[in-house]
Each structure stands twice: as structure tokens, then as C-alpha cells.
Structure 1
């Protein structure tokens, strides 16, 4: 009787696994035939369990994947932990936390720069002139990489001007003028490091990665040795799922509250309007995604090349897509189409 029951259980499990895989067969076929260019991995989890996982390159499940600016969302998680640990608050002024030489050496001093807060960096809405989407911006990311001290690069930027055709912060949704600024998140990394009195990568491992079972992350560093909070962190596909699942579950992991629930909630709540189809939380994109006859909001960790971790609260799901589509035209649209056309219908 026991043997029969065991056989039945194994057969049922096998059938369920096969059925799950079959649901995602069209998506897998589309990726394999090149519809979405260089997709390297897909993982779909629902109700906290992986229902589909496939690797399309030689790296396999152990490869640390450079998901570029998805690192910024990790920086937001570390900021939340530093707040929870009592080292700072979201209202803390960053120049009160940074090493004193940042203020002493600052170019373009201005009281409005002195007032920049942690929350301003979390929401990409500080007063300095920094815009990665504008090649003429003094704070454009590519200019930062040309000098040695990336944080001082941010500290030296002038205050943003607002001509008549550009809404001022007070006139913008949520009272914030959003401008995508990698240099600001790079500076946030040193803000956190200074506040917790511990190298950023060590604090991240102790307070975030180790509790999640994430080992050997591959950080990128500035020429002066600061772990880059603004991009380039290498993580496994399953590591990215764990980070997404953590926020889908309100900051809880393994039955414990790892990230404060209120911080997790605020992080994926609109704090600024990024563009017409997306708001912005605390270094989370809040994408508006069509789903049947409705539009849902999906918090997203997003990086260059279309790398993304999508939270789908209505479907109780996390979707991880990694790519090397760095030189493709509109790579984020390729990822978005893969999600909405092939993966979401399977859920």
C-alpha cells in the first residue's frame, strides 16, 4: 500500500512538473529561435516556488550575471537596512553622513545641495543637474567614469535649472522632479558605507545576502575602491529571484522580517513620476503593464540590456529575465514583450 502510494505521489509530481514546463514551452521556443535576441536565463516563480527555469547560455545556473542597474535596487534595500539598524533615516542629509572632505572640497556650493537627503537619492530627485538620459548633462553617467573619484563627481555638480518648459519639483507629481542619475546612487553607496562604518560589500553580505543564502556576489568597484551601488553587481539568476521574492513577501524571508515591512511597502509605492508608463519608488521602477482588459503595476529591478526582475503581485509571481542585449536597439522592449506575450499568459 505504501509502495503504491509512493509511486502515485512520484507520478503525480512528475506530471505536475511536466505540465508546468509545457506551459512555458512556447516562450522557450521563441527565445531559442532568436525572437528576443540574447536572452541568457529565465526564471518564473509563483507562490514562492519555481515553476519554470531555463538557461540559454553556457553559464548555467551558477553564472554571476551582470544585471547592470538592477544593482540600484539592491542599494535601496541596503539603505532600508541601515535605517532599520538606526544608522540613518530617509530624511538624513547626505553631506552630514559622507566624509567631511566631500563638503570641504565641494565645487558649486549651494544650500540646496546641503539639503539633499537620502530619500532624494532613493527617488532620483535630488536638486543637482544629473541626467543619464541627456548626453549634454554635466552629471551624465559616462562623464563620471572618466574621473577617479566618482562620489566627488556627484558632490561637485551644479544645481539643476528649471526653464519655463520644464516643471519645477513643486509642480511635478509627488513634488519631485525625476531625472535618472547613476552618480547619485553611487554616492548613496558611500553614504550607507559611512553611516554603518563598514565597507558596503561587507555590510551587504552580513545584513542582506547571507540571510538569503546568496554567496560570492561579484561587485564592481570605483578606481578608489568603493563598491559600486549604481550598477554592475554580478548575481545568479536564483539570487535575483530571492531579492524579488523578498519584496513580494513584504520584506519577509524564511519566516523572518529581514527588511522592515514599512520600508518594503514605501519602496514599491510611487514616490516620483518617471515617465507616462512608469512611476518610481525607492530605486524600484513601477511599470504599468497591460494584463487582459486591465493594467497592473509591476515593481521592477531593471538594468541595461533588458535585464529585469518583475514582481507580479496579482499573480503572486516573480519573473527574472537576464540578457546580454546591451547593444540591441530598445532591449527593454524585447524583455517587456517576452514577459507580456509569452510568460504572463502561462501564469
Structure 2
């Protein structure tokens, strides 16, 4: 996101006063098969600036917090800007809306939920066929690509428009020149295109379907059950909570969201997200590219090589290398928050920290 535009066109709101921290059972690293010495080496490397401006690293294994270090003055209570990691939270809220019966299924067409934002430019019957799942998998046919500065749907252009939902569905249908395979010829029958505007619109779908402001719905169905408080949303000029990025959460809150996915939608024995939906979030639904692999429901599906061994993972990821990485076969969640917004290859820095230090400190039990 363009920081100047965000300052100019969004408001920051605190949902609730700062209060009790998300509760985590704490254990010593060694008791959970994690090397204290390797963690100390990791912290020393971060403090030495090897990974630029990392602000926190937290690790949970076997459901217990085994490492928590803050590298800035803000400390534990600071709300970290999650950037696009917010998108995974929006996917969770879709699951909560399905559980409450507000959205029948991921096959529901989007258009009826956002009709009040119309009429839309570039009318096309194919827009009416765009489903909730299309937005969850970044594979709608809208011409929207944040990785292409020439795309009409590029995120930076959205912030110049008052109604971000109308901006999204005003977009034309994308074309497929000869060098780009059509959806039917791509893995999973989908053509992935990274589109923040689509995730923003998905938040509006949940808001419309539930009849509650998105931030209120999130507090009731997701954050309160996990003990997350004081979350900070960014808002569009029309007052829509931004489901596409910028949500402020504590590092421990991010760890809890990762643990929720690892537990297939359960938190302390309570069902928060339907199990089938949590599984779908972390199952390949679209192919990004050979370097970045597959994508689930607004969730990245990377593979980390640790001590020569590949480990399939699920990840929430945002600009600057902010990450929540879940590694099922190690029964682990790693949170890395950073301020590496103007640093070269910030995701490479974060992934190196995670693979060569955080996960490398584990044994395999």
C-alpha cells in the first residue's frame, strides 16, 4: 500500500480498549524439542541487523509458547500492522459467516451482496458468475493484478477512489493473450492474479451477508473467542473496514490465529471456524507460479527447506516480510513481524530467518 495514500484516505479505529493479553500456555524450549542455544543465536543475528528491522519473533510448538522476543521499544502490547496478512483473517470471517448461515457456501455469487454499490461499469454477464470462492482464491476474471503496475485493478489505483467495492466491480473482464494460459488450461482450473481489491470486496460481502459491520462481526465471531482485543482496523472513505490489509494486531494475536489454523478451526476446544472450511483454506486451490507454489483460501502454501528436509507450510503474509507460518508436520507456528517496507527482498529475509533459524532450532519430534 502507498503509505501516503493510506494516511490521506483511511481512519484508524480501536475496536476496544487495551486489556488482557491473549493467554498462552508457556513452556521451556527444550521441553518441546527446541534448542535454546539455537534460539539465542537467532536473536543475536536479529539484533545484529542481519535481517534488517525485525520487530518480533514468536514461536509456538505443540500448542505452547516457547519463544517470544521483541526487538523494538513498542513491546508486547504494540499492534503490528499485518499488511496483507489481513487477507487470511478475511478468509476466516467468510468461514464464520458460512457457519452462521449468512453465506450458504463458497459457491454463492458475489453480486447480490454488493448490488447497493452498483450500477457497475463494463457490464458483463461473467461478473454475475463471480463467486465467493473466486475471490478467496484470487482467481476471479476481473482485470486486477497488484503485481502489474499497468493493471486497471492495481491496488494503488483503488485508494484514489472513494468506493472501493464499486472500484472492484467496475473493472473489465481480463484478457488472456496467447502467452497466458486460460483458466481451464491452468492447474485447478483457475488463473491466479493477486488482487487486494477482491479481498476488500470480500470483506464487504461478509458485512452485507451478516448485517453487521465487518469489524463488529469479526470481534464477535473470531477475535473474542481467541481472546484478541484492541484490534485496529483501517477503513475506506465510505467506512468499510479494510479486509485487504492493514489490520493492527499484537504478535501474540497473530500466533493465536496461526494456531487456530493448525488446530483446524478450533481454539481451546471451541469450534471457531468450520473444520471443512479450515481444511479448504490450507488446501491447494490455485497455482501462483513455480517460485511461490500454490494458494489456498487467501492463504499461501509455501515449502520451507530446513536442515535439508522439505516441510510443507501454510502462511499469512504481508508487505515487509510480515509472516505467520504454520508447519503442520512440526506442530509449530512462527510469527515474524518487521518494518522492512523499503528493504530489498523482505520476504526472502523473513523466510531465511524462519527456515535457517526458527525452524532449524527444532528436532523432529
TM-score band by shorter chain is: over 0.9
Of 256, 273, 283, 2:287 maps to: 273
2:327 equivalent in structure 1: 312
Structure 1's 20 and 346: CA in aligned 2 closer, same or farther, altered over 3 A?
Answer: closer
Q: 1:260 to 1:14 in 2, by over 3 A?
A: closer
Q: CA shift at 1:290, angstroms?
A: 1.4
User: 254-263 or 231-240: which moved more?
Assistant: 254-263
**What secondary structure sits across from 2:212 in the alignment?**
coil
Over aligned residue pairs, what C-alpha RMSD do you find?
1.6
In structure 2, how many angstroms separate the alpha carbons of the residues matched to 1:170 and 1:16? 49
Higher share in helix:
1
Match of 1:221 in 2: 235
| Shift in Å, 1:319 | 0.1
Q: CA deviation at 1:101?
A: 3.0
The answer to whether the Cα contact below 8 Å between 1:21 and 1:52 also exists between their aligned partners in 2 is no
Report if aligned partners of 1:237, 1:322 keep a CA contact under 8 Å in 2: yes
Evaluate the alpha carbon distance shift between residue 45 and residue 189 of structure 1 in structure 2; reply closer, same or farther with a 3 A threshold: same
What is aligned with 2:82?
A: 67
Q: Does 1:58 align with 2:70?
A: no
| Offset, 1:311 | 0.3
Structure of greater Rg: 1
In the alignment, what sits opposite 2:336? Answer: 321
CA distance in structure 2 between the partners assigned to 1:309 and 1:178 by the alignment = 22
Q: 1:121 to 1:13 in 2, by over 3 A?
A: closer
* Inter-partner Cα distance in structure 2 for 1:33 and 1:311: 26
Q: Is the 8 A contact 1:302 1:309 kept in 2?
A: yes
**Superposition TM-score, scaled by structure 1 size:** 0.93
C-alpha distance in structure 1 between counterparts of 2:51 and 2:135, whole Å: 33
Counterpart CA distance in 1 for 2:29 and 2:93 is 40
Asked if 1:331 corresponds to 2:314, the answer is no
Q: Note the C-alpha offset of 1:123.
A: 0.1
Specify every segment of 5 or more residues in structure 2 that has no aligned partner in the other structure, as ranges: 1-26
Aligned partners of 1:295 and 1:225: how far apart in 2?
44
Alignment counterpart, residue 189 of structure 1, candidates 183, 189, 203: 203
Does structure 1 retain, via aligned residues, the 8 Å contact 2:306–2:356? no
Aligned partner of 2:113 in structure 1 is 97
Structure 1 residue 20: Cα displacement: 5.3
Q: Contact (CA 8 Å) 2:307, 2:360: kept in 1 or not?
A: no
| 2:303 paired with 1:251 | no
Tell me which of 49, 72, 90 is aligned to 1:34. Answer: 49
In 2: Cα distance, 1:308 partner to 1:228 partner:
19
Residue among 122, 135, 141 paired with 2:149: 135
Describe the SS at the equivalent of 1:219.
strand
Matched residue, 1:172 = 186
Deviation (angstroms), 1:343: 1.1
1:303 aligns with 2:310: no
Which TM-score applies when normalising by structure 2? Answer: 0.89
**More deviation, 128-137/273-282:** 273-282
Query: CA separation of 1:220/1:163 partners in 2, compared to 1, >3 Å: closer, same or farther?
Result: same
Q: How does 1:13-32 map to 2 (within 5 A)?
A: 21-32=36-47
The number of residues matched between the two structures is 333
Preserved contact between residue 21 and residue 51 of structure 1 (Cα < 8 Å): no
Q: Is the CA contact 1:45–1:318 (under 8 Å) kept in the aligned structure 2?
A: yes
Structure 1 stretches lacking a partner, 5+ long: 1-11
1:95–1:102 CA contact under 8 A, matched in 2: no
- Partners of 1:14 and 1:79 in 2: CA distance: 35
- The CA deviation string for residues 286-336 of structure 1, in whole angstroms up to 9 with x for no partner, is 002213443222100000000000001111000000000000011000000
Cα pair 1:20 1:52 within 8 Å, conserved? no
